[in-house]
């Protein structure tokens, strides 16, 4: 740990570096212990410096977007957490929108609407960054972010800048090619369609209101805990609900009263509480219905 800190104290990174940063501050669950080193690079060069320092010293790296789809353990993350927040540039030219990976998807949708560009509106008010949405292939209201990607600029495993052009066969429901590689997503270009800003905004407002009605903003969470599976014949939330598990609680972690596929932090939950609730849902659905749920929320950090 000391070597790790010394290593990051020595190098000069444009951006911010802190130590023992509580990750509860950076996750939508509002749980999670400290990151040994927490780096927020200001630009691609600084990111490469941080990644090469970690690589030379065999230090593990976790890339953090908005922290909206992760459950960080109470013991936190060993090694370096790199926040991509600094990559927040957004521009457009005709119907092409270029967005830095650290920008919240909602901000990108707002910018696009203001410039009469539709395409990202369905993601409006979904927590998280553009980079996280690409990594997860975020999906809602019948669309996935992969539907509108033209290309994505990344830093490869060998710390090279590369332009990834979409190959449709690499994308599927909540599957992206970045899940099987260790790359940093820097920026993406989206194909948008021109539309009237007021109409785009009206649709975005409907999505926001729908999320509000589903209790998305009433308590800290990471949205749906499990993926839906068509073969199960109904959404995962309905399956959990039927088993009477709505409101099921361990400590301050509980199944949402509004949507049974969402686990919320109802006060001072620990990551362990949240994980225990999720585990119980998996077990009940498996033992009582013989169905194997697939987690969408990622467990990150040091777990038992």
Which active-site residues does the annotation give?
224, 296
Among 33, 79, 86, 223, contact with ligand FAD (rule: CB under 6 A): 223
CB of 17 to ligand FAD, least distance (A): 18
CB of 119 to ligand FAD, least distance (A): 16
Which of 8-16, 34-42, 107-115, 133-141 is the region at the interface with ligand FAD (rule: CB under 6 A)?
A: 133-141
Among 152, 184, 250, 293, contact with ligand FAD (rule: CB under 6 A): 184
Return the number of the residue (41 or 118) whose C-beta is nearest ligand FAD.
41
The DSSP output letter for 175 is B
Burial class of residue 99, CB neighbours in 10 A (0-12, 13-18, 19+)? buried
Return the number of the residue (15 or 223) whose C-beta is nearest ligand FAD.
223
Radius of gyration of the chain (CA): 20
The DSSP output letter for 130 is H
Given phi > 0 = left and psi -120 to 50 = alpha, else beta, which region is 137?
left
Among 222, 239, 250, 266, contact with ligand FAD (rule: CB under 6 A): 222
Residue with tokens 């990344």: 154
CB of 127 to ligand FAD, least distance (A): 4
Return the number of the residue (270 or 288) whose C-beta is nearest ligand FAD.
270
Helices in the chain by DSSP H: which ranges? 2-10, 44-56, 105-114, 130-136, 197-213, 236-242, 271-289
Size of the site for ligand FAD (CB under 6 A): 31
CB of 56 to ligand FAD, least distance (A): 20
CB of 271 to ligand FAD, least distance (A): 14
Site residues (CB under 6 A) for ligand FAD, limited to 24-83: 28, 62-70
Among 117, 126, 253, 281, contact with ligand FAD (rule: CB under 6 A): 126
CB of 298 to ligand FAD, least distance (A): 6
Write the DSSP assignment of 32-53 as a string of letters.
Answer: --EEEEEEEESSHHHHHHHHHH
Return the number of the residue (2 or 158) whose C-beta is nearest ligand FAD.
158
Dist. CA 302–CA 103, nearest whole Å = 27
Sequence-ordered list of residues with C-beta below 8 angstroms from that of 7, at least 6 positions apart, any chain? 53, 57, 59
Among 129, 146, 256, 270, contact with ligand FAD (rule: CB under 6 A): 129
Among 106, 176, 221, 261, contact with ligand FAD (rule: CB under 6 A): 221
Which of 31-39, 89-97, 120-128, 264-272 is the region at the interface with ligand FAD (rule: CB under 6 A)?
A: 120-128
Tell me which residue of 32, 25, 26, 35 sits closest to 4, measured CA to CA: 35
Dist. CA 178–CA 153, nearest whole Å = 12
Q: Is the CB of residue 192 less than 8 Å from the CB of residue 117?
A: yes
Residue 109 interacts with ligand FAD (CB under 6 A): yes or no: no
Tell me which residue of 196, 63, 56, 203 sits closest to 140, measured CA to CA: 203
Which residues sit at the interface with ligand FAD, rule CB under 6 A? 28, 62-70, 84, 101, 126-129, 131-133, 135-136, 138-140, 184-185, 216, 221-223, 298
């Amino acid at each position: 740990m000391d070597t790790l800190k010394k290593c990051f104290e020595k190098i000069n990174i444009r951006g911010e570096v802190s130590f023992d940063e509580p990750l509860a501050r950076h996750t939508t669950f509002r749980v999670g212990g400290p990151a040994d080193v927490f780096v927020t690079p200001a630009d691609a060069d600084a990111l490469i410096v941080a990644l090469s320092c970690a690589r030379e010293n065999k230090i593990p790296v976790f890339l953090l977007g908005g922290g909206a789809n992760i459950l960080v353990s109470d013991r936190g993350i060993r090694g370096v957490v790199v926040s991509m927040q600094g990559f927040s540039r957004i521009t457009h030219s005709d119907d092409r929108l270029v967005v830095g990976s650290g920008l919240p998807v909602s901000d990108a949708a707002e910018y696009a609407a203001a410039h009469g560009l539709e395409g990202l509106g369905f993601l409006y008010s979904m927590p998280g960054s553009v980079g996280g949405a690409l990594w997860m292939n975020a999906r809602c209201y019948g669309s996935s972010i992969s539907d509108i990607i033209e290309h994505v600029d990344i830093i490869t495993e060998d710390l090279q800048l590369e332009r990834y052009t979409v190959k449709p066969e690499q994308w599927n429901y909540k599957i992206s090619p970045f899940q099987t590689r260790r790359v940093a997503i820097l920026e993406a270009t989206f194909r948008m369609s021109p539309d009237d800003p007021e109409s785009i905004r009206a649709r975005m407002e409907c999505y926001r209101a729908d999320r509000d009605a589903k209790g998305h903003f009433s308590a800290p969470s990471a949205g749906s805990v499990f993926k839906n599976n068509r073969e199960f014949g109904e959404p995962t939330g309905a399956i959990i609900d039927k088993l009477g598990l709505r409101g099921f609680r361990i400590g301050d972690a509980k199944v949402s009263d509004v949507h049974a596929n969402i686990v919320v932090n109802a006060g001072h939950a620990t990551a362990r509480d949240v994980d225990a609730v999720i585990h119980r849902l998996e077990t009940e659905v498996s033992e009582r219905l013989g169905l194997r749920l697939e987690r969408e929320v990622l467990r990150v950090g040091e777990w038992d």
